[in-house]
Amino acid sequence: MDPRQFTDLNPPERILLGPGPSMIPARVTAAMSMPVIGHLDPVFLQVMDDVQVLLRYVFQTENRFTFPVSGTGSSGMETALANFIEPGDRVLVGVIGYFGERLFNIAGRYTDNVDRIDAEWGQVLDVDDIRAQLKKHKYKLLAIVHGETSAGTQQPNIKEIAAAAHEEGALLVLDAVASLGGVPVEVDAWDVDVCFSGAQKAISASPGLAPITISPRAEKVLAARKEKVHNWYLDLTEVQAYWGKERTYHHTAPIHLNYGLREALRVVAEEGLEARFACHADNARMLWEGLEELDIALLVDEPQRLNTLTTALVPPAGDANKVRSALMDDYNIEIAGGFGPLAGKIWRIGLMGHSAQRKHVALLLAALREVLAR
């Protein structure tokens, strides 16, 4: 082994305008370079308490069970489904894009009875259709995606969907990975039972933590399980014993990721949720208007567009990948392409958290204008 073959690590500072990770404020990066301490050190226990208080603020909830799962956003998906599904339970999954597909895939690993309700990528689900489907069977839970990053859609009417689920005795599980911290996610006001997110999107912390919150109704369902959760690492009751008062060792919390999440949430709290949502809305509007001026159409109709992620249709003469490479090579800007049914047809432009700044939108629009003119 010749260690000289490995150069010093020197990642470029990119302008990250893709579907995540988003850019991280310098003070969050600084927080992640502080000394490591033990995961039961009183100083770290205070960090954990702070993170929980701050997470309740962004989720707009008073739920006792509110903490970050150790793992990326997908670990939040897995936690939400593993804990609330028992073998034989019937569950319903709303699929309006790739992440709905993933929820459907994960749910099928915990029970054989998974039904789905679909909308075309770029569309959202209709509350009456959901209600009608919920009446057909006895569902344990309904899982849907709030901000569908693959299509750029925001599912509206979450409060009505939650009410429909509760009328039929089902829990509502909401994927807010791409929305939390960028657009309103009102867990208590909407009466959502299980809501999870990811640290690296509109919260602008490092990837690796998945904030989750569980309603008192969901806590009861958890307590009434007949079988142990079929996933030791993500067993919410055991993890809560570490994050709650007991402080029982379960696994070593990722110390630095929690430092970073705490700092990123402190940034959100200082800015204030309302101001943050307004900032995301303003930046999205500036992007949409700028794209329209460049004759680039948007996939999603305005009322259901996701402020944190815009899907733009590649013009007939354009080559989606060439444009993306040129933006990266010549302007240091990352945007993403489409996948699944939208592969090659769209660009996905994220304006999440610290990435959502007017100067970034202005630069991207100018760069796109120049690249497309070539």
Ligand X SMILES: *Cc1c(COP(=O)(O)O)cnc(C)c1O
Footprint of ligand X on this chain (CB under 6 A)?
20, 72-74, 77, 99, 145, 147, 149, 175, 177-178, 198, 207
CB of 42 to ligand X, least distance (A): 30
Burial of 275 from C-beta contacts in 10 A (0-12 / 13-18 / 19+): exposed
Nearer CB in complex with ligand X: 22/52 = 22
Q: Of 172, 232, 218, 197, whose CA–CA distance to 74 is shortest?
A: 197
Nearer CB in complex with ligand X: 77/234 = 77
Nearer CB in complex with ligand X: 23/178 = 178
Residue pair 211/54 in contact (Cβ under 8 Å)? The answer is no
Enumerate residues 6+ apart whose C-beta is below 8 A from 315.
295, 296, 372
Report the greatest alpha carbon distance in the chain. Answer: 65
How far apart are the C-alpha atoms of 177 and 268, rounded to whole Å? 16
CB of 29 to ligand X, least distance (A): 18
CB of 19 to ligand X, least distance (A): 6
CB of 150 to ligand X, least distance (A): 8
CB of 284 to ligand X, least distance (A): 16
Enumerate residues 6+ apart whose C-beta is below 8 A from 274.
none
Nearer CB in complex with ligand X: 207/315 = 207
Measured from each CB, the residue nearest to ligand X is 73
Nearer CB in complex with ligand X: 37/343 = 343
Residue pair 301/153 in contact (Cβ under 8 Å)? The answer is no
Residue pair 291/310 in contact (Cβ under 8 Å)? The answer is yes
